[in-house]
Amino acid sequence: MSRWISNNIFRVYAVIAVAYLLLPVAYTLVFSFNDGGRSNLVWHGFTFKAWTNLCDAPGVCESLRNSLQVGVLSTLIATVLGTMIAFALGRYAFTGRSTTNLLIFLPMATPEVVLGSSLLALFLNMGGGFLGFTGVLMAHVMFCISFVVVTVKARVATLDPKLEEAARDLYATEAQTFWKVTFPLVLPGIASAALLAFSLSFDDFIITYFNAGSNFQTFPVFVWTSNQRGIPPQANVIASLMFFVALIAVITAQVSATRRAKALAK
């Protein structure tokens, strides 16, 4: 027995670690089928009611729509701006480049409570008109840009300049070289950065809570406020669906990358 354990200790550790990480997900999925009524903390029985009546809980679908709107818009804006910044930092030398690099990392290093309260103070000093959807969107774009820049910049740094030189030797213009050679090579990094930005935006609570105002609520804020009176099973359903969507996206990306690697190896 001891010999088997010594030979499989890393496999056992991996299984335990994965099980520990997936335990909250399993709890969320199981209790999405709970017939719990207003409170979903104690198991009362199995039912599909929450899955077939997703919007029965007041405010759950509205908060989900708000999270998706903010997530999609902030991802698009942050991805476009962050990609341009990443190319500028990775390809060109200019005055203030080091300072720009430092400023890009600041939102990542700053605690969210500091960032959220600072933005709240700024918006209040400007009259409070930005609190709500606009303020949350601006805040999400601000901290998502940093992650996009870091991700895309790492991809830009790995590009082989000989490929672009070969395209120019074949009389391709700068625009043709970018769209036919550079952009396809950087696209996986941009896609990864966009997925990361959307995940961070959809998941954010602290910064959103500070700047949402009184009439705007995202899904994480809805879960927090519902916790005071009992989280409805519909919240577990949405969380389970988001997990499976993310899982499918990761699996699809991995399969696509594997097929692309095999195609290039031939």
Q: What is the pLDDT of residue 130?
A: 85
Label residue 136 by pLDDT band (50, 70, 90).
very high
- HSE, CB side, 13 Å, CA atoms: give it for residue 127: 2
pLDDT of residue 149: 93
Structure tokens at 151: 């991700």
In which band, very low, low, confident or very high, does the pLDDT at 145 lie, cut at 50, 70 and 90?
very high
The pLDDT, as a whole number, for residue 253 is: 78
Query: With bands split at pLDDT 50, 70 and 90, how would you rate the model's confidence at 256?
Result: confident
Question: Lowest mean pLDDT: which of 2-6, 11-15, 118-122, 215-219?
Answer: 2-6
Q: For residue 182, what are the CA distances in angstroms to 151, 170, 227, 263?
A: 16, 15, 48, 19
User: 3-class DSSP state for residue 46?
Assistant: strand
Beta-bridge mates of residue 46: 34
Q: What is the mean pLDDT of residues 137-164?
A: 90
For the whole model, what pTM was predicted? 0.84
Q: Within a 13 Å sphere around the CA of 58, how many CA atoms are in the beta-carbon half? A: 5
pLDDT over threshold 80, residue 2: no
Say which CATH class 58-231 falls into: mainly alpha
Rounded (10°) CA dihedral 249, 254, 256, 261: 160
- Confidence category of residue 58, pLDDT binned at 50, 70, 90: confident
Q: Which of 89, 85, 79 is nearest to 193 (CA)?
A: 79
Q: What pLDDT, on the 0 to 100 scale, is given for residue 226?
A: 81
